[in-house]
Structure 1
Amino acid sequence: MNHRVPSNCRYQPTEYEHAANCATHALWILPSILGSSILYILSDDQWETISAWIYGFGLSSLFIVSTIFHTISWKKRHLRTVEHCLHMFDRMVIYFFIAASYAPWLNLRELGPWASHMRWIIWIMASIGTVYVFFFHERTCCRESLLPRAASLCRRYKLVELVCYVIMGFFPALVILSMPNRDGLPELVAGGFFYCLGMVFFKSDGRIPFAHAIWHLFVAIGAGIHYYAIWRYLYRPLDASEPR
């Protein structure tokens, strides 16, 4: 790994770390598309079909956009403008991936009166996060002459962005408490645990070798657990012996 950089700069991975960053998400593109197709095939009504499309698009987009960004960052380093736009897009997709991951639960499970509003609140949260990334993500570049105040603002923007991800990831989970049917809750908690644990590596570039690639693996594990829960409890046909 390379040396850790100031908080107002972006860490520059080594060649091996670049390769790992690409591979650890590229490997999940085809499985995510296949898994999304399975949910679509298992859909029995309009809402299940819509939810399968939303979730599948969010899941596949996460891995596809991340892979494209890391590939451009590795192989086309002279395309700084393109790389910056893809980096922003990569961060924006995370908001919509979170919203898409909740969509099947919010659309297909019975919710309490207040919790039903979360179906559209979560997309407003994703839109706000996207606007925030557009206007504030890495607006302050790393330069030797960077003013202390500008560096402080950059650190603040990155912290706010991280807090936004955490809030959006946990706040909609509160609606689970209003669901009469709580099947799948252990899987949702387990997936959330892996996301949270992975965030330790997300902020450890320059401290832990291959930290970002390890973060990618935790994301893949968390997404896999959540996919299993959606397939198992919302889409998989019940056996005759199973209680409804």
Structure 2
Amino acid sequence: MKRNFSISVDMSKLKNRRARHDEHYQPTDMEHIANMLTHGICIIPSLYGLKTMHERASSPTEVIALLIYGMALFFLFTTSTLYHSLSFAGAKGLLKHCFHMGDRAVIYVFIAASYTPWLLLKDFGGVSHFFMWLVWVMCVLGILYQFLFHSKYKSLEVIFYLMIGICPAYAITHMTDPSGVQELAIGGIIYVSGVVFFKCDGIIPFAHAIWHCFVFLGAFSHFYAINTYLVGKHGATQGSFVSNTA
């Protein structure tokens, strides 16, 4: 006698409903935990990565570049973890609002900081100065947007993230030494692919935690590229942004 076994999964425990235009997405408890863990486990490795890069740095310019990138990476994971932890704990009002804004704003800082080591330490045929200003001005404008229109225009917010992440990449066409471009491209593709899940909160279970995993993978690809092609290779920092502006 054959028996048919079926497993019923209560989807309400895995994902919440889709948020309306005028409200924030509220994860389920299981999603809260996943959101905390997927970035929380990256905090210590990000500090260790900063330490190892700093120890290998061969010039003051490398130290500056790595501190900017490493601290941005650390604050990205830390701010995200703190925000999701406060949300899970039921925090409301100004505290939660400030950390939510910080969680979104630090993404702009991290994108700009990810470009900074390359613009400081690679030769871009004299356009490093322009692209350095471009990426950080876009970062400041993105942060101002967060303070003025926090989560009001959600699709526009994603467009801003993509613009600051993709547009300055045109600088790659001016690189005199293309080493590391493959890893940069892989990391960029991972980040952009993850945006799909970033916009699927309330549609795909654990969508935000999956987005966190894409961020980790993209950051690892870029960290590998920086540690392999930039750290310890610029004693005199030839062709760097600092040298060009001194």
Same fold by TM-score greater than 0.5:
yes
Give the alignment of 1:86-235 within 5 angstroms. 86-138=99-151, 154=152, 157-235=153-231
Per-residue CA deviations over 1:28-57 (Å, capped at 9, x if unaligned) read 000001001111111111100100110011
The structure 1 segments of at least 4 consecutive aligned residues displaced by more than 3 Å after TM superposition are: none
Q: Distance in 1 between matches of 2:72 and 2:112?
A: 8
Q: TM-score, normalised by structure 1?
A: 0.87
Secondary structure at the residue paired with 2:230? helix
- Gaps spanning 5+ residues in structure 2: where? 1-14, 235-246
Q: Distance in 1 between matches of 2:144 and 2:24?
A: 21
Q: Distance in 1 between matches of 2:147 and 2:33?
A: 27
- Give the partner amino acid of 1:14: T
- Gaps spanning 5+ residues in structure 1: where? 139-153, 239-244
- Tell me if the contact between 2:120 and 2:128 (Cα under 8 Å) persists in the aligned partners: no
- Tell me if the contact between 2:57 and 2:232 (Cα under 8 Å) persists in the aligned partners: no
Deviation at 1:112, TM superposition (A): 2.1
Deviation at 1:236, TM superposition (A): 5.1
Report the counterpart of residue 53 of structure 2 in structure 1: 39
Report the counterpart of residue 242 of structure 1 in structure 2: none
Percent identical: 44
Q: Distance in 2 between matches of 1:85 and 1:200?
A: 25
- Give the partner amino acid of 2:62: E
CA RMSD of superposed structures (Å): 1.3
Deviation at 1:115, TM superposition (A): 4.2
**Quick one: which of 97, 104, 113 aligns to 1:84?**
97
Per-residue CA deviations over 1:154-207 (Å, capped at 9, x if unaligned) read 3xx212211111010011111011011010111111101111111110000111
Secondary structure at the residue paired with 2:204? coil
Q: Distance in 2 between matches of 1:186 and 1:216?
A: 22
Q: Distance in 1 between matches of 2:40 and 2:58?
A: 31
* Greater Rg by CA: 2
- Give the partner amino acid of 2:112: A
- Give the partner amino acid of 1:84: H
Deviation at 1:2, TM superposition (A): 1.3
How many residues align? The count is 220
Q: TM-score, normalised by structure 2?
A: 0.86
Q: Distance in 1 between matches of 2:144 and 2:19?
A: 27
Deviation at 1:5, TM superposition (A): 2.1
Given the alignment of the two structures, is residue 73 of structure 1 paired with residue 87 of structure 2, yes or no? yes
- Give the partner amino acid of 2:177: N
Q: Distance in 2 between matches of 1:54 and 1:48?
A: 10
Q: Distance in 2 between matches of 1:43 and 1:220?
A: 23
Deviation at 1:124, TM superposition (A): 1.1
